[in-house]
Structure 1
Amino acid sequence: MDTLSWEERPFVSLEQMGTYSARDRKTAQKYGPIVRAAEISNRDYKYRYGKYGSERSMQPPPSSHIHIHVGYLVVRKLGTPDQYETWMPNDVFDELYEAAGEP
């Protein structure tokens, strides 16, 4: 993924995101075997939701955005009518996904 400025980061496009695969079968079945993701903060996701939330399928931002946490914007159920965006903390993302092509 290209390095984005702080102004662009909340609005990263699907094409700019990295490709990741689910680490286990349960995650793959529930959310799709492949996701697209980009590292952004919970506050960045709040801005993204404010801009795109009415036109895209998105989970609401975390309720606590007073503290800024680094995590991932994740697009799940890629290429299906149920495709949606969500945000998750780094540790949760790392438990569920790995860069596509990793053993």
Structure 2
Amino acid sequence: MEILDWKERPFVPLEQMANYSALDQDTARKYGSMVKAAEISNRDYGYRYNKLSSSQKMQPPPSSHIHIFLGYLVVRKLGTAEQYETWMPDHVFEELYAASEP
């Protein structure tokens, strides 16, 4: 993935996100076997949500007014009518997904 300026990082387009595959069948069945993801903080996801949630399906951001955590912007159910974005803490994401080829 191309490195973005810090001001643009929350607004990375889907085309620039990396591909990841689900590590277990349960995750694949619930959310799709492939996802797109990019590393951003929970606060950055909040900025993204405030700007883009009126035009695309997104899960609300976790609280970031006290603690800022690293994690991933994740696009699940790729290519379906149920496609949506969410944010996950890095340790949770890394237990569920592994980098894959495009």
Query: TM-score by structure 2 length?
Result: 0.96
Residue 28 of structure 1 aligns to a residue whose secondary structure is: helix
Fraction of identical pairs, as percent: 69
Write the deviation string for residues 48-93 of structure 1: whole angstroms up to 9, x where unpaired. 0000011110000003442111100000000000000000000000
Unaligned runs of 5+ in 2: none
CA contact (8 A) 1:40 1:73 kept: yes
**Large movers: runs of 4+ above 4 Å:** none
Unaligned runs of 5+ in 1: none
Residue 31 of structure 1: aligned partner: 31
Query: TM-score by structure 1 length?
Result: 0.95
Residue 21 of structure 2: aligned partner: 21
Query: Paired residues, what number?
Result: 101
Whole-Å separation in 2 of the counterparts to 1:9 and 1:98: 21
Whole-Å separation in 2 of the counterparts to 1:12 and 1:60: 18
Task: State the Cα RMSD in Å.
Answer: 0.9
